[in-house]
Amino acid sequence: MAKAVYRKFIKIDGHQIWSVKWHKNGEPVILLHGGLSHTAKWEKKILPAVATTHEPFAYDRTAHGYTKVRSGYMHFDFQVKELIAFIKTVVKKPVHIIGWSDGGNIGLLTAIKYPKLVKSLVAIGANYTYDAGLSSDLNTVEASEEEFVNFEKMTGQDRQLLLEIKAKAFKVWRTEPKLKLSQLKKIKCPVLILASDDEPFKSEMTFKMYEAIPNGRLAVIPGTSHNLVGEKPKLMQVVIKDFYKSLSFPITKMPNRRAKQQDKILRNS
């Protein structure tokens, strides 16, 4: 496990954000945790994929992990704004992004809205639209005693605030994101859509998302759920490492969907 350069709060956009940075071994990459999760829950699973090839950064988004709540939190537009503030304040240059679930959705939105700041994106278990047959129960808001205790310990905030945070998250998931395939077609950077074969939304949505992105790749990890990060981390890491070996447009021997773009590249080479 790579040792962090620092783990500390950094004032970003007027708010104290819990941030982590590891040693520089290449270009910067930001690791975006899933919704209602935090950096420490997934860094051990994702960090081995980039620790020796990049300069990894991560942070707990507002109302996640060690970072406390503030006005307006949870909507994806808010979280995109927070990411941009982190890039401009901490990294100060364009980045690669690896995002899981909500983190992947934030990556997609950022690649569309701020293309000059995103060099590549790995979107793990992402959904470009809320209208994708989500199977989860998003109406019942509850928390276990363990969740309450961990929340109080990490944030020092009143335990009942956790229920408010969950309710806000569930509302967002019922209504966001609202991207269209036509917007995904505008993404300029290389994108790896990485999904399980048993996501809580329709597989059709995953394939449509991949097919719409001009420089997209698709990987489906067999025998996994939305928690593929924890279920088959080593296989996931291999796939991500392979993606970073070459971010150039894929040139294959029997292209079909990529045929026109590949022919254009070969003619101009």
Phi-psi region of 125 (alpha: psi -120 to 50; beta: other; left: phi over 0): left
The secondary structure element, H or E, covering residue 20 is strand 15-22
Per-residue pLDDT band for 32 (boundaries 50, 70, 90) equals: very high
Say whether pTM exceeds 0.75: yes
The domain 4-268 is placed in CATH, from the list 3.40.605.10, 2.60.40.790, 3.40.50.2300, 3.40.50.1820, at 3.40.50.1820
Q: Is the model's pLDDT at 1 over the cut of 80?
A: no
Q: Is the dihedral of CA 120, 1, 230, 61 positive or negative?
A: negative
Which of 72-76, 136-140, 154-158, 169-173 is the least confident region? 136-140
Q: Looking at residue 30, what is its pLDDT?
A: 98
> What percentage of the chain exceeds 70 in pLDDT?
100
- Give residue 269's pLDDT: 84
> Domain residue spans in the chain?
4-268
What average pLDDT does the structure give for the chain?
Answer: 97
